[in-house]
């Protein structure tokens, strides 16, 4: 392998051309959730397949029940092998009138109020710009060395924004082609614009729909009020009982499998000084509502949660209608950590709800597909290698954080392929992902590419 400096110099020299390639990719309106854009999704798949084939990858389109996936191989016998995952599909652009330009798929370089340069377009950050940081790092190695420092397989899907409906099945059916030592994902973010981050854990998810039925029809509240059970009242009590006065979830057995965060990690998090003012203040709040004995950063990263995501019941139209509804429903989600078991939670939650249903009423509970939490082992060699590589590029140690959200396909990589996933992304909080005027800082794209070159070189060792 040539000296890493030569690889990094090539990335710097090629920045303008790499932006041209990214812009060509961004111009394709690959909106996966709208069937009207199916041809554009295939066009985006063909584009990235062609770009990878030009780099010497054995690249192909593979059919799924929906949009195709792009699979590309560049093996290196005797070296570690990584599987890189990303997606070429993007979110819809609505509402169009809120975009500064009425052409969300015509990328441009903009200057932000603080002087930063950024790439503005739908998909600039999520996920085309992030995908291309890795591809451009591979390009630099190919240009200078003629080969990559490690074996690489790229799996770029086209339906992440539509729930990756068919990807788990496809991964299971093609597991032999996806053999690797480690998965790399670049669909996350930095701590701030100058501090890189490695997401070392993802919370899992359990999701339920609860429907309480009392009377066999809607009732006149003047005739039946005070005597007839009201499903909205029953449901409200269930939701209220889910937490105690200290913010802890009260479902029996809920905290089974929840582990304490190591003290050295907690010390690092304390040093980040994430305050209610800086985090909640941006959304018009200032009081943390989670477990009272936990830091705010623990509440959003490493602790399990329960939230009511929606309540439906009774008359909600204009004006008044004095009615006691026959049914009321709620959507309730739990974010899981550590070794919490979604199946055990399913049983315990059902019992918790059933105990609060009056004898002459009934409840129906629908369980949606959930996922377990995932965490990289502390001290994992690949994690330490990535930390060192990012520190060299950014001039400061990366923050090792947990993600409050869930990326279900990462769970499939673990369960189906037996692989841990290293999540290193360069998005920023102000990138307006999924919103009008999405952007990706030019520094994120440039230094993100350099970061991947350093990480690949470090993994080779």
**What confidence tens digit (pLDDT) does each residue in 418-436 have?**
999 999 999 999 999 999 9
Per-residue model confidence (pLDDT) at position 281: 93
Per-residue model confidence (pLDDT) at position 406: 67
Spell out the CATH class of 204-258+304-369.
alpha beta
Per-residue model confidence (pLDDT) at position 402: 85
Confidence class of residue 2 from pLDDT cuts 50, 70 and 90? low
The residues spanned by each domain of the chain are: 4-202+373-460, 204-258+304-369
Confidence class of residue 407 from pLDDT cuts 50, 70 and 90? confident
Per-residue model confidence (pLDDT) at position 238: 98
Per-residue model confidence (pLDDT) at position 106: 98
Contact 409, 64 (CB under 8 A): no
The residue behind tokens 């309480």 is: 212
Report pLDDT digits (tens) over 43-73.
999 999 999 999 999 999 999 999 999 999 9
Per-residue model confidence (pLDDT) at position 409: 87
Closest to 402 in 3D by CA, of 289, 215, 233, 259: 259
Contact 282, 238 (CB under 8 A): no
Architecture of domain 4-202+373-460 in this structure = 3-Layer(aba) Sandwich (3.40)
Q: Which two tokens stand for residue 79?
A: 């070296």
Peptide bond into 95 cis (omega under 30): yes
Q: Kindly report the average pLDDT of the chain as a whole number.
A: 95
Report pLDDT digits (tens) over 300-339.
989 999 999 999 999 999 999 999 999 999 999 999 999 9
Per-residue model confidence (pLDDT) at position 265: 86
Q: Classify residue 14 by its DSSP letter.
A: T
The residue-averaged pLDDT of 232-250 equals 98
Report pLDDT digits (tens) over 149-205.
999 999 999 999 998 989 999 999 999 999 999 999 999 999 999 999 999 888 988
Report pLDDT digits (tens) over 349-376.
999 999 999 999 999 999 997 788 988 8
Rounded alpha-carbon distances, angstroms, from residue 180 to 9, 57, 154, 176, 384: 29, 16, 11, 10, 18
Per-residue model confidence (pLDDT) at position 371: 82
Per-residue model confidence (pLDDT) at position 324: 97
pLDDT at 282 over 90: no
**Cα 10 → chain centroid:** 31
Burial tier of 97 (Cβ tally within 10 Å: 0-12, 13-18, 19+) = exposed
The residue-averaged pLDDT of 227-240 equals 98
Per-residue model confidence (pLDDT) at position 1: 52
The residue behind tokens 């993100």 is: 448
Q: Which two tokens stand for residue 369?
A: 């597909």
Contact 183, 413 (CB under 8 A): yes
Peptide bond into 336 cis (omega under 30): no
Burial tier of 320 (Cβ tally within 10 Å: 0-12, 13-18, 19+) = exposed
Q: Which two tokens stand for residue 106?
A: 């015509």
The residue-averaged pLDDT of 261-285 equals 91
Report pLDDT digits (tens) over 122-165.
999 999 999 999 999 999 999 999 999 999 999 999 999 998 98
Written as one string, the DSSP assignment of 356-398 is TS-TT-EEEEEEEEEE--EEPPTT-HHHHHHHHHHHHHHSSPP
Per-residue model confidence (pLDDT) at position 279: 92
What is the torsional sign of CA 222, 225, 231, 232? positive
Written as one string, the DSSP assignment of 75-135 is --TTS-EEEEEEE--B----SGGGSSSS-TTS-EEEE-TTS-EEEESTTTTTTHHHHHHHH
**Cα 320 → chain centroid:** 42
């Amino acid at each position: 392998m040539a000296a890493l400096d030569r690889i990094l110099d090539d990335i710097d020299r090629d920045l303008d051309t790499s932006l041209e390639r990214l812009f060509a990719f961004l111009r394709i309106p690959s909106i996966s959730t709208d069937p009207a854009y199916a041809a554009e999704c295939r066009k985006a798949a063909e584009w990235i397949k062609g770009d990878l084939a030009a780099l010497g990858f054995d690249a192909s389109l593979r059919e799924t029940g929906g949009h195709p996936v792009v699979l590309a191989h560049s093996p290196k016998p005797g070296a570690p092998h990584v599987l890189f995952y990303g997606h070429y599909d993007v979110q819809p652009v609505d509402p169009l009138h809120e975009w500064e330009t009425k052409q969300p798929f015509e990328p441009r370089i903009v200057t932000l109020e603080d002087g930063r340069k950024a790439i503005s377009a739908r998909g600039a950050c999520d996920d085309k710009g992030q995908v291309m940081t890795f591809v451009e790092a591979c390009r630099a190695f190919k240009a200078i060395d003629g080969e990559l420092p490690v074996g690489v397989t790229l799996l770029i899907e086209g339906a992440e924004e539509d729930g990756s409906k068919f990807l788990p099945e496809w991964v299971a059916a093609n597991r032999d082609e996806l053999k690797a030592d480690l998965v790399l994902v670049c669909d996350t973010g930095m701590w701030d614009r100058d501090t890189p981050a490695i997401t070392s854990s993802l919370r899992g998810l359990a999701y339920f729909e609860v429907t309480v039925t009392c009377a066999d029809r809607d009732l006149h509240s003047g005739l039946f009020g005070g005597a007839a059970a009201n499903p909205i009242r029953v449901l409200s009590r269930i939701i209220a009982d889910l937490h105690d006065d200290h913010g802890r979830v009260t479902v029996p057995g809920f905290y089974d499998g929840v582990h304490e965060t190591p003290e050295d990690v907690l010390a690092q998090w304390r040093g980040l000084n994430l305050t209610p003012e800086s985090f909640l203040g941006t959304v018009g709040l200032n009081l943390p509502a989670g477990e009272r004995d936990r830091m705010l950063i623990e509440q959003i990263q490493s602790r399990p949660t329960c939230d009511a995501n929606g309540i439906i019941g009774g008359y909600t139209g204009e004006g008044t209608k004095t009615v006691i509804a026959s049914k009321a429903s709620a959507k309730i989600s739990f974010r899981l950590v550590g070794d919490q078991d979604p199946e055990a939670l399913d049983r315990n939650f059902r019992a918790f709800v059933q105990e609060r249903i009056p004898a002459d009423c009934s409840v129906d509970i629908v369980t949606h597909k959930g996922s377990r939490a995932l965490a990289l082992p502390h001290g994992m060699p690949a994690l330490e290698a990535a930390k060192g590589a990012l520190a060299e590029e950014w001039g400061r140690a990366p923050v090792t954080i947990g993600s409050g959200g869930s990326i279900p396909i990462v769970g499939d990589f673990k369960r189906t392929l037996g692989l841990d996933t290293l999540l290193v992304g360069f998005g920023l909080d102000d990138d307006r992902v999924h919103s009008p005027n999405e952007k990706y800082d030019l520094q994120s794209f440039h230094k993100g590419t350099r970061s991947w070159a350093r990480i690949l070189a470090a993994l080779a060792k």
